[in-house]
Homo-oligomer: A and B are copies of this chain.
């Protein structure tokens, strides 16, 4: 079994209105030290072992569904979980 962590972030060149809103909210709470906020997604998947290579599987899932590669970048970490 694998525990897969996927991080999806907007590409640098893409505007992030949600991040801008959060930055504004932090400033109005007097956290004026905050210069920039970018918001992304964090996904945790539990994947069973199969004949397919886990790396390839995760990359495929990201490309097809989890990330919109036109405007988003993704990275992932795979951790093998040993079930006792």
Measuring CB to CB, which residues of chain A are less than 8 angstroms from any residue of chain B?
1, 7-9, 19, 22, 25-26, 29, 31, 33-50, 52, 57, 60-61, 64-66
Contact of A9 among B7, B33, B37, B44 (CB under 8 A): B44
Quick one: which of B25, B41, B48, B66 contacts A33, CB cutoff 8 A?
Answer: B48
- A39-B42, A41-B39 known; A65 vs B34 contact (CB < 8 Å): no
Assembled-state Cα–Cα distance A18/B45 (Å): 13
Contact of A38 (CB < 8 Å), options: B9, B43, B66: B43
Cα distance A39–B66 in the bound complex, in angstroms: 11
> How many angstroms from the CA of A1 to the CA of B34 in the assembled complex?
10
